[in-house]
Amino acid sequence: MATTRLYPGGGGAPRILERPDEALDEVLAPTPASESAGGPAGEGAEPGARGGDASPNGADGVGLAKPEAEGEADRRVAPRTASFAWIALGSDESEELERIADRLGVHEHALGVAVSTRERPRIVRYADHSLLVLSTVSLASASGPFAGDGPGPAADSALAPAIVRERCVALVLPRVLVTISTPGFPLDAVAETADAEHAISGCGVPFLSWALLTTVVDAHIDVLESLDDEADALVDAVFEPRPDTAALQRRAFSLRRAIASVRHSTLPMRELATSLERRSPSTIDPVLLPYFTDVYDHTVHAADWAETLSDTVSSIMETNVALQGNRMNDIMKRVTSWAAIIAVPTAITGYFGQNFQFLGFGTDWGAWMSLGAIALSGLVLYALFKRRDWL
């Protein structure tokens, strides 16, 4: 069921409305200022306003124009804007989405992307609105780890947790933000982030865009921290005196699969954040600029972290293979050394034989001489191999 939050102009706590149309009626209604400037509703209004007052937000609603007053006493205070709305739809509410999109004049291509499930994280800009495709990640289950993507039956407790990706598409208009998300997407966390920053809520829809982006990036970093801890534990397990090779391989492959799943979200997000960062100086209000810059820094950090973890797991697997080779060589040295120890007395007895006359044959001292040669040669070889650390 759709959830609608209507934010008052100039900042403040939002109102929760039962129907999206209530919010749309208010944010799209003509104001006296717009009527005096452009005549009847829809004439002279800025594209994308749909008959409402010309929004100070950028044409696509992601950026916010600079404040009109050049000499503001406190540049940290967000400019006052008209009211704006956030309409949160589920991925199964396609009919409601089409109705709202038709009323807002959303581009047909944007509507197609919004309902698609194969889009990678990216930003698409249209004439009077923008579209954000976002993907967040989380651990599959807190009750038990899994092997592979998505929830499933518990497998091996030594395996790394699987990653669940949730998707959200945001239609960003000057005074309306429409999100279409899968059931597991953390919309509550987005709302909490927005509610905690009342000081900048007057920046309008770009403020909501920031709350959405920062929630997604923070989720990436939280998961990467868990995977980094798992990688550290895996390193310790590799260098145990007697590691379980089969378990190590399962853990390594499971961890690498989880990291690859996270990279599918973090790497495209870096491209998206870079695109926003390049436009920031001219399209994002100075009040929000540090916040979007912080999102950009965290996005780049998450992408680099995912790359580093991938390289780390590859190094762990290569190290494990190398250690297995070293252990195999060590075992071969030990076996060969003992084989040499056994081969010497075998050669002696084989050369002299025990069934025909030889030096000392039929005498007590001959028997003692043969036994002494066997024992002495074995001790000499043992001492030699031990000195070289082959035994």
CA–CA separation, 120 and 108 (whole Å): 19
Task: Give residue 381's pLDDT.
Answer: 79
Task: Give residue 62's pLDDT.
Answer: 56
DSSP assignment of 319-366 equals HHHHHHHHHHHHHHHHHHHHHHHHHHHHHHHHHH-SSS--TTTTSHHH
pTM over 0.85: no
Taking only the tens place, the pLDDT of each residue in 1-26 is 688 999 887 777 888 988 888 889 88
CA–CA separation, 278 and 282 (whole Å): 9
More confident residue, 33 or 254: 254
Task: Give residue 135's pLDDT.
Answer: 92
CA–CA separation, 114 and 178 (whole Å): 10
**Sequence spans of domains, the chain:** 3-323, 325-387
Taking only the tens place, the pLDDT of each residue in 158-211 is 566 788 999 999 999 989 999 999 999 999 999 999 989 878 888 888 899 999
- How many Å is the maximal CA-CA distance in the chain? 132
- Per-residue pLDDT, averaged over 140-148, amounts to 45
pLDDT category at 354 given cuts 50, 70, 90 is: low
pLDDT category at 390 given cuts 50, 70, 90 is: low
DSSP 50: T
Task: Give residue 247's pLDDT.
Answer: 84
- Per-residue pLDDT, averaged over 35-45, amounts to 38
Task: Give residue 36's pLDDT.
Answer: 39
pLDDT category at 353 given cuts 50, 70, 90 is: low
CA–CA separation, 200 and 198 (whole Å): 5
Domain 3-323, classified CATH 3.30.460.20, yes or no: yes
Tokens standing for residue 270? 């870096």
* Best mean pLDDT range from 48-62, 104-118, 278-292: 104-118
Percent of the chain with pLDDT over 70: 75
